[in-house]
Structures are given as C-alpha cells and as structure tokens.
Amino acid sequence: MALALTLVVSFSVAQKAPRWKVWATKADTLYQHEEFPSAIKALSKAIRLSGLQEKESFVLIYRRAVCYYSIGEYNLALKDLDVFSQKVPDGVQASLLRALVYRELNNTDKQLEYLTQIITTRAPRPELFRWRGLVYLQKDRFSEARTDLLSAKGLEDDAETETYLGLVYYNLHQTDSALMALNRAIEMDATYLPPYLYAGSASLESGNIDLGLQYLNLALKLDPSNKEALYYKGAALVEQDKTDAGCQCLNRAFYLGMDEAADYLKEYCFDWER
C-alpha cells in the first residue's frame, strides 16, 4: 500500500512539472547526441512555453546559442547571447562563447574585448592567456603577446606556448631567444610539428642554412608530405646549388599546393614546364 502511494505521489509531481522543463530535458538529450537542429527546435519550444518569466529558464537562451554555435550559425548565436546578457549581465560563460564565436568570424578586436573581460573577472587560466597572446600575435602586437604568453607559461608551460613565444621573439628580432623557445617546445613534445617548421624557417632567414635544413629534415620525418617543409628545404637546397635535390622538393611542394614554389621552379628547375 505504501509503495502504491509513493508511485501515485511521484506521478502527481511529474504531472505538475512545467511543460517547458519537459522540452528542456528533451533538448539536453538531443544535444548530448549532437542532434543540434532538433535540440534548437526543442529549446525554442521551451523558450516559448516559459516566456522567460522564471530565472531558471534564462539558461535556455544560452543553451540555444551553444547549439547555433555548434552548427556554424554564428549570427544567430550572437543574437541569443544578446538576449541572455540582458537577463544575466555578468555571465562569464556567455563572454567565453562570444569570444569563441568571434574567433570563428576572425574578429580579433572582439576576441580581445571578451577575453580581457573574462581574464579580469575570474581566476587566471593559462589557456585564456595563451589564446589572448595568440590574438595579440595575429595583430602584430608582439610585446603584449609576449606578456600574455609568459603569464600562460608561468601557470602551465607546454609545447604550444613555447612555440608561440618563439614566434613572438622572432618578430621582436630576438632570434636566439626564439630558437631557445622553439627548442624547448621540441623537448616538451618531439611529435609537435610547428616548432620544427618555425625553427627551420628562422634559421634559414638568419643565414644558417645547415641548421635550418636539420630542423626541416626532422619535420619531414614527422610528416613526409608537409608542403611548407618541402618548400623551405627545396629553396635552401637550390640556394646551395644542390639543384636536383632542391627541385625535387619544390616540385613536390608545388604539387601539394604550395604556390610559392612556382617562382623557384621557374628560376632554377629548367625542365619544369616540359
């Protein structure tokens, strides 16, 4: 008898649950299965039913923005985030999602705006400093990039951070510091390709061709079809009058889509057009 009473009470409570919560639960399930268009429909239904009258329903707008972001509907995601921010002005997760959206839209100014907002309002996190440092690097604001990347390194160092630092130092005309950072990146993760490419390129541009070729050969061991490594190696070899080997690398780089190899091919590889 007690069990029957419990079942009746539970069913009664379930019946009284707001309909918008039922649709919200369906949306969560659909999201977990990465059925984002269906999740958006369910969330839209939940939003209409709730009227966004209860505080706990505000999150529905944020969740729909996440779904829009997941399918590349970035403007719709931003529109929902505008509504959500009116309801929850200090939402850190919303600021983070905005930064992610603007990264996809290649809007560096907006990325900086929201990353700075997050960094100044919560405990320091290395991935946020690293991200903002990369944005500064993309905008040629090298001193600010160095500051952020050193902050990231102080919290948690890794091969990616050291690689970005290497690029910053190189652009600040500090080649020795750049190579030191890139070598640290290689020591941290010998399978991470970018530092080999950047160290090879930096060495070649500073006139140390033999060292540059060492880095590029290591890069090609990791990825024999890397078009950038083939291009840089080919260019270095033809400059050393090793034309046959250089042209072989340049031909392969061009075939793989490295259009920059065309000029070297025309100048050094006489049989290219035959």
Q: Do 238 and 186 have their domain in common?
A: no
pLDDT for res 274: 44
What is the distance of C-alpha 214 from the center of its chain? 29
Q: What is the pLDDT of residues 7-47, one digit of tens each?
A: 343 333 445 678 999 999 999 999 999 999 999 999 999 99
- Note whether 81 and 96 are same-domain residues: no
**Whether residue 210 is found in the same domain as residue 269:** no
Cα(78)–Cα(69) distance, integer angstroms: 9
- 151 lies in some domain: no
What is the domain-level CATH number for residue 25? 1.25.40.10
Are the C-beta atoms of residues 68 and 44 closer than 8 Å to each other? no
Quick check: helix, strand or coil at residue 199? helix
Q: Is residue 214 part of a domain?
A: yes
**Tens-place pLDDT, residues 89-112:** 888 999 999 999 999 999 999 999
Distance CA 187, CA 173 (A): 23
| Residue 201 exposure: Cα atoms within 13 Å on the Cβ side | 16
Confidence of residue 231 (pLDDT cuts 50, 70, 90): very high
Q: Clarify whether residues 85 and 95 are in a common domain.
A: no
For residues 114 and 164, state if they share a domain. no
Domain assignment of residue 176, given as a range: 157-223
Query: Domain tally for the chain?
Result: 4
What's the mean pLDDT when you consider all of the chain? Answer: 91
Please say if the pLDDT value at position 2 is more than 50. no
Would residue 26 count as lying in a domain?
yes
**Residue 148 falls within a domain, yes or no?**
no
Instruction: Quick: pLDDT tens for 182-199.
Output: 999 999 999 999 999 999
User: What DSSP line would sit under 205-263, residue for residue?
Assistant: HTT-HHHHHHHHHHHHHH-TT-HHHHHHHHHHHHHTT-HHHHHHHHHHHHHTT-TTHHH
Instruction: Say if residue 136's pLDDT is above 90.
Output: yes
